[in-house]
Amino acid sequence: MRKRIILLSIFFSCIFLCKDLMAQTKKVTIRGTVTDAASNEPMVGAYISAGVPLKVVADVKANGSYTAVVDEGATLTFSYVSYDTQTIKLKAGQLIVNVRLKETQNTLGGDVVIRGYVKRTRETTTGSSFIVSGKEVQDVPVGNVEQLLQGKVAGLNIQNNTGAPGMRGSTNIRGLSTISVTGTGESAYLQPTSPLYVIDGVPMDADKASEFGFDQQGPGVSPLSMIPQ
């Protein structure tokens, strides 16, 4: 009799335990759309994650819609490259979730160094970088902006052969030339080490005086004189 009671107790305990497990793992189908908060365009390729640890359960189709099967009451995470991640906790009976993602506003703190096509903070670059702030050159009486940089940057050699305001001199970085050769035969020459000036996003080649209003090569106007005062 005692064995029968024990077996019945175990049987009913298993039934209630299975019932609780089934209640905890009840699945629901969630539908909705994911769009850009600014343009209202569908976020094709955005993905939805859920569970612990997070697991991708759906992605957004071409029309911006998605369908995901998740646990009831789950937390959905909506993600897309260069957009802020959005997390939504499902409420009881909630089957429709529409999301509008906002573009991430990332700004690089501190000084920014641009190399090629990469923009990084000065702290994360491994090469040689120099930054001359406005405080270092303000209130200095000179006739040429280039003269303000003389002695401020290691390896930068500036020679001014004219005292005319705005006229450029000779500017070289780490020597007069590089080992790179341009041209062939008698037309070959070593590439200069003069800097490329980029002012307000506009590149200016200091070796071409004709770009600054001159028909022939000569001292020319310094690109730095183009900086608005």
CATH number at residue 45: 2.60.40.1120
Based on the domain organization, do 6 and 97 belong to the same domain? yes
Based on the domain organization, do 144 and 193 belong to the same domain? yes
pLDDT for residue 2: 53
pLDDT for residue 49: 94
Query: H or E segment at 172?
Result: strand 170-173
Identify whether 115 is part of a domain.
no
pLDDT for residue 210: 42
Q: Is 219 exposed, middle or buried (0-12, 13-18, 19+ CB in 10 A)?
A: middle
Based on the domain organization, do 6 and 94 belong to the same domain? yes
pLDDT for residue 79: 92
For the chain, what is the domain count? 2
The torsion region of residue 40 among left (phi > 0), alpha (psi -120 to 50) and beta comes to left
Identify whether 26 is part of a domain.
yes
Per run of 10 residues, the mean pLDDT along the chain (length 229 residues) is 53 52 73 94 92 90 94 93 91 93 70 62 66 75 73 76 67 66 69 71 62 49 66
pLDDT for residue 108: 47
Are 104 and 84 contacting, i.e. CB atoms less than 8 angstroms apart?
yes
CA angle, 124 then 130 then 131, to 5°: 95
Identify whether 130 is part of a domain.
no
pLDDT for residue 46: 92
Domain boundary among 47, 77, 101: 101
* Owning domain of residue 175: 140-226
